[in-house]
Structure 1
Amino acid sequence: MPRIYTPLVCCCLLLMAAASSAEQPPNIVFIMADDLGYGDLGCYGQQRIATPHLDRMAADGVRFSQHYAGSTVCAPSRCVLMTGKHLGHAEVRGNRSVSDTSEQPLEDATLTIAEVLKGRGYATAIVGKWGLGDQHTSGFPNKQGFDYSFGYLGHWHAHNQYPEFLFRNGEKVYLNNFVPGARPSGAGNATKREDYAGDLMIEEAREWINQNHSKPFFLYLSLAVPHANNEAGDEGMQVPDYGPYKNRDWPQPQKGAAAAITRMDSAIGGLLEQLETLGVADNTLVVFTSDNGPHAEGGFDPEFFHSSGPLRGIKRDLYEGGVRVPMMAVWPAKIEPGSESDTISGFQDWMATFADVAGADAPKETDGVSLVPSLTGKGQQQQHPYLYFEFYEQGGKRSVRVGPWKAVQLGMNSKKPRPVELYNLDDDLGERNNVAADHPEIVARLTREMDGARSDSPAYTFGAAADAEAATVGPEGR
């Protein structure tokens, strides 16, 4: 016998459906570029590279001016992001290979953002560059909370935008490419570059969203541009075409980098449009950022585009240009368009932030704070007592930021490290004027902060032996 609904019953059903929809936690899309500088986007002052979609994203949401990557290079930056622990506590604090195919993996006991969100019923995926352990290790993303993975598992593999294969859930997917100098895989008959990995990542991400948008989802889209294509040497970044820069009187590596950034920008615009079409944009938090500062590899000159903007330094530096990165977010249901935030924040904050928006408990052992107040403009934003960084290559370095003050110390792998440098970022954003001699008491306070910010790690220690070991890792291009 068919059911007959009275107006009162229909009204109740509609209210129940609305309440259920309102209770559904937001989707989360975290997009990270590779080696994109603070000044490489139009919304951060770039004049020569077109990034209209990311500029629109910043205008439609909130743009942060003082956001920091986890590290100045790839692997530790990603570890900080995934675990919520800064470099003084992270288990991966440098680019360290443990085999021909894997960097140092996350340990089995590591709790990642993906695992926290999976516990709240999220579908989870990593598309792009992982770099925290391959399929033979405990760090394999499918063992670290991700339902689905596609892309590069290791950094060295990600040095080529036209690889012979990518990995889907740990299995090789062969492409129509041949890497010069590499041993033929025996799969396919490719003799030239046909399948551009950057395009494949976006296609895979969009297809995954199509299949999973009916429930809460977390997509970590870790793009490998504009990192240099190290397989191509001084040819720089290889792309399908140079787009609007084809006829520019620029060196080839600069054309390639600009084209890669603009192509990425267009692809992200398409993904944002997809969320609108699927009707999930209002309840989706989308974040865009970079894993560290701009590189100087593959013939690319970061000064050509002023890729660090007003900041000093590039990738592998602990000056601002090596670690401060662009970051913007849109969440139409929560973020006011045209918002700006000068909250001092970092990658360690995303664990607490995503747990907060998902209604989950963040791990107790975390160095991050929820950025929801800064994203939404509502509530009191908790502040960091400090931000700490360390780096074991190039003689060993460490730095700390406390309010406007920034301390940098070089030569940490020598018997006598260099004197601590001190900068007031409110007055000297470019870190040109070392005022340590004028403020010995602040130098002493920040030195104590650096000393106390780290826990011991057998794999990462300062000293001459550490520098010699770092030299054997082969960090170039990571």
Structure 2
Amino acid sequence: MIKGLAKLSSLGIWVWMVLTPAIVNAQLKKSTPSKPNIIFILTDDLGYGDLGVFFQNQRREKADPKLPFQFTPNLDKMAASGAQLTNQYCNAPVCAPSRASLLTGLNQGNAKVRDNQFDKQIENNHTIATVLKTAGYATSVIGKWGLQGETKDEPNWPAHPQKRGFDDFFGYMRHADGHEHYPYEGVYRGKKEVWDNYKNVADSLSKCYTTDLWTARAKKWIVDHEISKGADKPFFMFLAYDSPHAVLELPTQAYPEGKGLKGGIQWLGTPGNMINTASGKVDSFVHPDYQNATYDDGKVKNAPWPDTFKRYATATRRIDDAVGDILQLLEDLKISENTIVVFTSDNGPSIEAYLPAEYVPNTPQFFASYGPFDGIKRDVWEGGLRMPTLVTWAQHIPAGKVVVSPSMLSDWLPTFADVAGVSAPARTDGVSLVPSLTGKGTQAESLIYSEYSEGGKTPDFKEFEASRRGRKRGQMQMIRLGDFVGVRYDIKSADDDFEIYDIVSDPKQTTNLAAVPSCEGLQAQMKAKSLQVRKADLEAPRPYDKAQIPSVELLDKTIPGLSWKFFKGDFPYVVSETGLVESSSGVSKHLGEEMPKSRPGMTLYEGYIKVATDGEYSFSLQASGKAYMRMHEAELIDADFGYQSVSQETQRVYLKAGYHPVKIYYLREAGKQPILSLKMRYGGTDWKPLKSTDFYHTK
């Protein structure tokens, strides 16, 4: 069978679809790859409360006519067959930084894309795709990108997905294009561009509703891959829907009958008739479950739902149908048992809707899309950050599992590296979630931290706590330590107190525990940790950027020198030590000389640097090969991806006097004299070379 999809008949079905299942199956490899396929499905502005299994089913069960509700039957089925992650957070409460943190595995304290930096290029560094390619994966991204970097020389964007580890891209390149769900017609936001790698193909996409378009393309890509490569090469797909965000446009027609290989949404491949729903009337179909829906609006019983909310519910239901369609395709291709599917959202529900003035303004209040929480998109309250996350992986994740341990989107890079059998990069802030998903092994604690700046206010919703209605956002932070969440709004300095909530017993964050004497230590811990997990970024300034990072108190006696561990292996990049077993270890006398000359591998130095005076410190690192350095949990120096051997990398930080933990990873170039040089200076003084005896460790 030819690679790609065959030309289609006038009946609008694939030629190969009329083949018997036996013939289709004959085209697919019979063996099963040892590494699982991975599909990561990301929606845009879908709230925790929008899913039936997370919240809407509870509203339905109350049978209260004042509580309208949505249905998500396919996602509920997915939840029943796999795991619900009820405490997963996005890294930022708005799409661009959230998606960048997902792809790079960095929290917002270390990320290069922060705040409202839409269309800023994602850094040329490790991504989920580059890491999985080292494990032999084929990679694709379909849907919304928005991390390409601005350029007048399109389509040569500096951070085109194919320059960040993806083999194939089909979708919206620019962030704002995702505000329109009919790229050819541009019903409410004007005509948009859809890129097939480096070619704009929007002119061929008449009447293509993007949820359907991305789904059809995803199914086509999966089938093509299985026919051409199959078990010889696992795949990773990042499927990024641009709905239900923004225009709340409607599909052209009902979701096609059936699902999977022979039903549901199909790619036809003919310009002007690209998919099998590219006919009928644009922006017209309301799902039958909502067409005549009524509720008690407080004034009128059995009042019809406003059209705006019929649109929202239909858009969400379309995603639900699409997920069911894709899951059935995996069954039909006999690859479901070896495919991980993750479904989630990029941030909390939005109050935005780019609809004509005659429509009722969109508000997540109608369905309580924020669930049992306060806050929406652009808030660091739970409603803005808590995500509706589902995961299936047959024979590995028990059906109906509920994972309550906290996690973030940045944990997926190390999770996927783990299942693919490769090490995550050392720069990754996340941890593998495999233990909590499968029940095997000990789950490492995730770092739950977010920072964001926004000029608006938390909405004045009557359902929200009075203290935060209409509250100015400004500079914000959120940090979670165990069962407790700390939140700061409109931050003026690092000395501002966190509001503290027991998020397990008080998910709506109604009782601020900051004034409780027993929480004084927790307040100090949150203030310290929120400085120790981040580095300043000139393009996203914070009022605490120059605050002095607290040192740590050491109870054990310190000993001069850094402890070191050598990990044998031919590593393609500086890797995290998680899951590795050292082949030798000791205490260093000279940085760089502990690595055996005859064996490839990486040396990790660990210990503390002691500074005598509060103030500004600068560090400079040079290495033959690659290196990476952390201080506390923040990136200090990255000399790994793209690093030119022996070039100088510097970083400035503000430190309190005392001990500061450091990790230095060193991957020496084979056959070359080891060079690992680290210098430090205080303020404007001269640079001082640091020797191993300038560091300390404990037994």
CA change 1:246–1:435 in 2 (3 A) is same
Q: What does residue 147 of structure 2 align with?
A: 132
Q: What does residue range 296-375 of structure 1 map to in structure 2 within 5 Å?
A: 296-298=351-353, 299-375=361-437
The reply on whether 1:204 has 2:217 as its aligned counterpart is: yes
Which residue of the partner structure matches residue 219 of structure 1? 237
- From 291, 310, 317, the equivalent of 1:246 is 291
Deviation at 1:246, TM superposition (A): 1.7
Partner of 1:441: 521
**1:405 — aligned with what?**
484
Q: Distance in 1 between matches of 2:530 and 2:166?
A: 34
Deviation, structure 1 residue 107: 2.4
- Secondary structure of 2:115's match? coil
CA distance in 2 between partners of 1:452 and 1:460 (Å)? 17
8 Å contact 1:159–1:231 — kept in the other structure? no
What pairs with 1:281-292 in structure 2 (closer than 5 Å)? Answer: 281-292=336-347
1:53 pairs, out of 74, 86, 89, with 74
In the alignment, the residues of structure 1 paired with residue 331 and residue 39 of structure 2 have an alpha-carbon distance, to the nearest angstrom, of 14
**Residue 122 of structure 2 is aligned to residue 106 of structure 1:** yes
Letter of the 2:144 counterpart: K
Structure holding more strand per residue: 2
Q: Secondary structure at the match of 2:97?
A: helix
Q: State the match for 1:73 in structure 2.
A: 94
**Which residue number in structure 2 is paired with residue 427 of structure 1?**
505
1:383 equivalent in structure 2: 445
Amino acid at match of 1:74: C
Distance between the aligned counterparts of 1:340 and 1:408, measured in 2? 26
Which of 137, 152, 156 is equivalent to 2:172? 152
Q: Please give the alpha-carbon distance, in whole angstroms, between the structure 1 residues aligned to 2:143 and 2:284.
A: 18
Distance 2:221 2:436 in 1: 30
Separation (CA, whole Å) in 1 of partners of 2:285 and 2:336 = 31
Task: Confirm whether residue 24 of structure 1 aligns to residue 24 of structure 2.
Answer: no
Question: Which deviates the most, 452-461 or 272-281?
Answer: 452-461
Provide Cα deviations, 1:105-124, integer angstroms capped at 9, x if missing partner. Answer: 0222x110001111211111
Contact 1:114 1:146 in 2 (8 A): yes
Aligned pair in 2 of structure 1 residues 415, 347: CA closer, same or farther (>3 Å)? closer
Where 1:224 maps in the other structure, the secondary structure is: strand
- The 1:388–1:155 alpha-carbon spacing in structure 2 relative to 1, beyond 3 Å, is same
Partners of 1:70 and 1:79 within 8 A in 2: no
Task: Return the offset for 1:241.
Answer: 1.1
Q: Please say if residues 292 and 315 of structure 1, whose CA atoms lie closer than 8 Å, have aligned partners that are also in contact.
A: yes
1:333 is paired with a residue whose SS is coil
Amino acid at match of 2:538: P
Query: What is aligned with 1:458?
Result: 538
Residue-by-residue CA offset, 1:407-455 (whole Å, 9 max, x unaligned): 111112x479864211111221101111111122211211111122211
Contact 1:196 1:240 in 2 (8 A): no
The CA deviation string for residues 384-421 of structure 1, in whole angstroms up to 9 with x for no partner, is 2x411000113111111101111111112x47986421
2:217 is paired with a residue of what secondary structure? helix
Q: Relative contact order (C-alpha < 8 Å, sep 6+): which is higher?
A: 1
Query: Shift in Å at residue 230 of structure 1?
Result: 8.0
Confirm whether residue 267 of structure 1 aligns to residue 326 of structure 2. no
| Corresponding position of 2:454 | 393
- Post-superposition Cα deviations, 1:208-267, rounded to whole Å, max 9, x if no partner, equal 0001121311010001111121899xxxxx954111212221122211110001011011
Tell me, in whole angstroms, the C-alpha distance in 1 between the residues paired with 2:71 and 2:203: 30
Other-structure match for 2:600: none
Among 115, 130, 135, the residue aligned to 2:130: 115
CA distance in 1, matches of 2:102, 2:509: 26
Q: Secondary structure at the residue paired with 1:151?
A: strand
Q: CA deviation at 1:170?
A: 2.6
Letter in 2 for 1:105: Q
1:411–1:417 contact (8 Å) kept in structure 2: no
State the distance in 1 between where 2:200 and 2:316 align.
Answer: 27
Report the identity percentage.
41
- The 2-side partners of 1:287 and 1:204 are apart by 18
- The corresponding residue for 2:599 is none
- 48-57 or 455-464, larger mean C-alpha shift: 455-464
Query: Separation in 2 of the partners of 1:231 and 1:207?
Result: 24
Q: Which runs of 5+ in 2 are unaligned?
A: 1-29, 61-68, 150-154, 185-192, 251-281, 294-303, 354-360, 456-473, 546-699
**Is the CA contact (8 Å cut-off) linking 2:248 and 2:308 kept in structure 1?**
no
Paired AA for residue 458 in structure 1: L
Spell out, residue by residue over 1:139-193, the C-alpha distance to the aligned partner (whole angstroms, 9 max, x if none).
Answer: 110100101101111211100001233111031112477xxxxxxxxxxxx7xxx
Q: Distance in 2 between matches of 1:382 and 1:464?
A: 29
Q: Within 1, Cα distance between the matches of 2:74 and 2:217?
A: 20
Aligned length: 418
Amino acid corresponding to residue 389 of structure 1 in structure 2 = S
- Separation in structure 2 between the aligned mates of residue 140 and residue 81 of structure 1, nearest angstrom: 17
Q: 1:126 and 1:351 mapped to 2: Cα distance?
A: 15
Closer, same or farther: CA 259–407 of 1 in aligned 2, 3 Å: same
- For 1:122, give the aligned amino acid: Y
Name the Cα RMSD after superposition.
2.1
Amino acid at match of 2:120: Q
Relative distance call for 1:267 and 1:22 in structure 2 (3 A) is: closer
Give TM-score, length-normalised by structure 1.
Answer: 0.84
The Cα offsets for residues 262-283 of structure 1, whole Å up to 9 and x where unpaired, read as: 0110111011000000010000
Are residue 64 (structure 1) and residue 85 (structure 2) matched? yes
Q: Aligned with 1:92: secondary structure?
A: coil
One-letter amino acid of the structure 1 residue matched with residue 521 of structure 2: E
Task: Classify 1:376/1:416 alpha carbon distance in 2 versus 1 (closer, same or farther; 3 Å).
Answer: closer
Quick one: structure 1 residues 462 and 21, their matched pair in 2 at CA, closer, same or farther if it must change by over 3 Å? same
Q: 1:416 to 1:378 in 2, by over 3 A?
A: closer
Given that 1:411 and 1:418 are in contact with CA atoms closer than 8 Å, whether structure 2 keeps it comes out as: no
The corresponding residue for 2:640 is none
The 1-side partners of 2:197 and 2:31 are apart by 31
SS class of match (1:458): coil
Residue pair 1:176, 1:195 contacting (<8 A) in 2 also: no
Counterparts of residues 175-194 of structure 1 (less than 5 Å): 175=203, 194=207
Listed as ranges, the matches of 1:77-92 within 5 Å are: 77-92=98-113
CA contact 2:249–2:315 (8 Å) conserved in 1 = no
Whole-angstrom CA distance in 1 between matches of 2:284 and 2:483: 43
- Normalised by the size of structure 2, how large is the TM-score? 0.58
CA drift of 1:463 comes to 4.3
CA contact (8 A) 1:226 1:257 kept: yes
Which digits, 9 at most, give the CA deviation of each residue in 1:302-324, with x for residues without a partner? 11101111111110000111001
Unaligned runs of 5+ in 1: 1-19, 98-102, 178-189, 233-237, 466-478
Classify the secondary structure of the residue corresponding to 2:85: strand
Query: Helix, strand or coil: the match of 1:407?
Result: strand
Q: Return the letter of the residue paired with 1:426.
A: V
What secondary structure, in the 3-state scheme, does the structure 1 residue paired with 2:454 have?
coil
Local SS of the residue matching 1:354 = helix
Distance 2:33 2:314 in 1: 42
Alignment pair present for 1:44 and 2:54: yes
Alpha-carbon distance in structure 2 between the residues aligned to 1:401 and 1:415: 19
Q: Aligned in 2, Cα 1:205/1:361: closer, same or farther, shift over 3 Å?
A: same
User: Would you tell me which structure has more helix in proportion to its own residues?
Assistant: 1
Pairing 1:171–2:199 present: yes
* Aligned residue number for residue 476 of structure 1: none
